[in-house]
Amino acid sequence: MRNYRVNVNGTEYEVAVEEISASEVKSAPKAAEAPKAAAPAGAGEKVTAPMPGNILSVNVAAGQTVKSGDVLMILEAMKMENEIMAPKAGKVTSVTVAKGATVATGDVLCTIE
């Protein structure tokens, strides 16, 4: 273990990091690569990622009708599961992420018309 002191926006944190050998490093599964640019966003309001994280589940598909407040997907960020909810009622015109995808803040997750 190596200990580090990290300063983030003026707040100091102490972090312990475990060293691992190159043989212990696991490659990321192919499912973790999001088809960000491959799937064009459909017509309507874009639902974007509020923070960076990993998509744990996708509960909707293109063509599905949703109500305002329905859980579209679960985004894991900082070991917490965050529900991404429909901002309005409508029809899902596109889903641009898959389970296991890594997303950044502002990435389009789906579009609702």
Between CA 6 and CA 69 the distance in angstroms is 38
The SS3 assignment for 24 reads helix
User: What global pTM score does this model have?
Assistant: 0.61
Better pLDDT: 73 or 30: 73
Measured from the Cβ of residue 44, the count of other Cβ atoms closer than 10 Å reads 16
Share of the chain above pLDDT 90, in %: 56
Give the residue among 6, 93, 98, 21 at the shortest CA–CA distance from 59: 98
Between CA 104 and CA 1 the distance in angstroms is 29
Between CA 30 and CA 43 the distance in angstroms is 28
Q: What is the CATH number of domain 28-112?
A: 2.40.50.100
